[in-house]
C-alpha cells in the first residue's frame, strides 16, 4: 500500500509565489543550483507565508514607497544636469563598447550616458510601483486564507 504524502504550500511574502512550507515557514526557493551550490535564494525563505502574516510584505511595500520619490528626484537631477554619471560608453553597440570617464566622453556620449542614467532611475521607480501594486493585491487576496494542501 502506497502512502500519500501531503505538502503544505503558501504564498511567499517577498516574491508572491506559491512555495512549499517547512515547519510553518517558507522553504528555500527562487534559486538555481550549480555544482551543488545554491545561488539566488529568495529573501522570503524562513518567513511565514502571507496567509499567516503580511508584516514583511507591508514592510517591503513601505520601503519601496519611500524609495520611489528619491529615484524620481535623482532622475530629475540627472535631467537638469545637477547629477552626472561617472562614466560613459564609447559606442552603443556592445561589441565595440568601452567604458571611459564621463569628462573624457564626447558630447554625444555624455548625452547617452545621462539619458541612460535618468531612465534607469525612472524605470526602477516604475518597477517599484508595479511591484507594490502586485504585492498589495496578493496580500489582500491571500492574507487570512487557508494554506494549500497538495497530495504528492
| Span 14-42, pLDDT tens digits | 999 999 999 999 999 989 888 888 788 89
Q: Among 44, 8, 29, which Cα is nearest to 138's?
A: 44
pLDDT, average across residues 105-131: 97
pLDDT over 70 (residue 1): no
What's the predicted TM-score (pTM) here?
A: 0.85
Between 69 and 93, whose confidence is greater? 69
Give the three-state DSSP class for 87.
Answer: strand
C-alpha span between 144 and 48 (Å, rounded): 12
Average pLDDT of the chain, as a whole number: 94
Q: What is the DSSP string of 117-136?
A: HHHHHHHHHHHHHHHHHHHH
pLDDT of amino acid 44: 95
Q: How many CB atoms lie within 10 A of CB 94?
A: 7
Amino acid at each position: 500500500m502506497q502512502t500519500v504524502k501531503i505538502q503544505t504550500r503558501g504564498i511567499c511574502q517577498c516574491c508572491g509565489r506559491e512555495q512549499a512550507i517547512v515547519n510553518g515557514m517558507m522553504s528555500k526557493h527562487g534559486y538555481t543550483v550549480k555544482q551543488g551550490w545554491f545561488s539566488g535564494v529568495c529573501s522570503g525563505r524562513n518567513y511565514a507565508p502571507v496567509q499567516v502574516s503580511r508584516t514583511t510584505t507591508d514592510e517591503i511595500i513601505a520601503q519601496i514607497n519611500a524609495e520611489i520619490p528619491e529615484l524620481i528626484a535623482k532622475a530629475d537631477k540627472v535631467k537638469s544636469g545637477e547629477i552626472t554619471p561617472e562614466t560613459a560608453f564609447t559606442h552603443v553597440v556592445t561589441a565595440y563598447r568601452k567604458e571611459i570617464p564621463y569628462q573624457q566622453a564626447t558630447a554625444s556620449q555624455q548625452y547617452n550616458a545621462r539619458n541612460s542614467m535618468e531612465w534607469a532611475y525612472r524605470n526602477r521607480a516604475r518597477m517599484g510601483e508595479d511591484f507594490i501594486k502586485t504585492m498589495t493585491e496578493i496580500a489582500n487576496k491571500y492574507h487570512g486564507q487557508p494554506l494549500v494542501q497538495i497530495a504528492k
